[in-house]
């Protein structure tokens, strides 16, 4: 997913009056206002009432639903291999985003987490705040090398405190062998 493709997709979504927030790698890069690495997809957080409108907009531009998704998390892809990974939340009375995970538990995106603003190629975009981006990376899955790098960049830029599971050991960070 190139920056140009992302801006194009976000333009279609904005023109349709749909609010989305960038998450994942593009969310981090938007916060940093620079692309730090290639991205295979874009992760979007979307309110439940906007699922059908978003799906219609993307289908109009050649995106199709990939198999294996579920109502709360699904992927739309085009023939060029670009993917939009959609995470659907229900907003509660306090504007927290409630996301039902695959195991049935509910993950709460705190309302203040939706205040993030970033830029992709100079275009302002909505994304998760740096603090919530770190919280999301700290729970629910085993971080990969790219996740450690993303979180360290957020720590340096915004001073967010990383939990121990998002810190590489000095040995790994330098690339030294363990023995």
Residues 23 and 133 sit within 8 Å (Cβ to Cβ): yes
Confidence (pLDDT) at 169: 62
DSSP-derived 3-state class of residue 109:
strand
Instruction: Print burial letters for 128-164: b (CB count within 10 Å at least 16), e (below 16).
Output: bbbbbbbbbbbeeeebeeebbbbbebbbeeeebebee
Confidence (pLDDT) at 176: 37
Query: What are the structural domain ranges in the chain?
Result: 3-131
Confidence (pLDDT) at 123: 97
Which secondary structure element, helix H or strand E, spans residue 53, and what is its range?
helix 51-60
Confidence (pLDDT) at 140: 65
Query: What distances in angstroms separate CA 64 from CA 48, 80, 158, one per listed residue?
Result: 19, 12, 37
What residues contact residue 31 under an 8 Å CB cut-off, 6+ apart?
Answer: 116, 118, 127, 130, 133, 154, 157, 158
DSSP-derived 3-state class of residue 69:
coil
Confidence (pLDDT) at 57: 98
pLDDT in tens, the chain (179 residues): 999 999 999 999 999 999 999 999 999 999 999 999 999 999 999 999 999 999 999 999 999 999 999 999 999 999 999 999 999 999 999 999 999 999 999 999 999 999 999 999 999 999 999 999 998 877 767 788 898 899 999 999 999 988 877 777 643 444 433 33
d(CA 100, CA 76): 19
Half-sphere exposure of 10 (CA within 13 A, CB side): 25
What residues contact residue 173 under an 8 Å CB cut-off, 6+ apart?
Answer: none
| Structural class in CATH, domain 3-131 | alpha beta
Confidence (pLDDT) at 65: 97
Among 103, 144, 151, residue whose Cα is nearest residue 128: 151
């Amino acid at each position: 997913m190139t920056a140009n493709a992302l801006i194009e997709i976000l333009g279609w979504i904005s023109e349709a009056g749909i609010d989305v927030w960038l998450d994942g790698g593009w969310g981090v890069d938007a916060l940093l206002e620079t692309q730090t690495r290639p991205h295979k997809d874009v992760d979007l957080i979307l309110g439940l009432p906007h699922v059908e409108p978003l799906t219609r907009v993307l289908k109009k531009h050649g995106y199709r639903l990939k198999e294996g998704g579920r109502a709360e998390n699904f992927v739309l892809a085009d023939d060029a291999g670009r993917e939009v990974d959609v995470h659907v939340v229900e907003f509660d009375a306090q504007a927290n985003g409630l996301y039902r995970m695959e195991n049935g538990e509910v993950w709460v995106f705190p309302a203040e987490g939706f205040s993030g603003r970033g830029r992709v190629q100079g275009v302002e975009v909505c994304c998760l705040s740096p603090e919530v981006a770190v919280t999301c990376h700290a729970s629910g899955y085993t971080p990969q090398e790219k996740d450690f790098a993303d979180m360290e960049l957020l720590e340096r830029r915004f001073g967010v405190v990383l939990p121990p599971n998002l810190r590489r050991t000095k040995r790994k960070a330098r690339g030294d062998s363990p023995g």
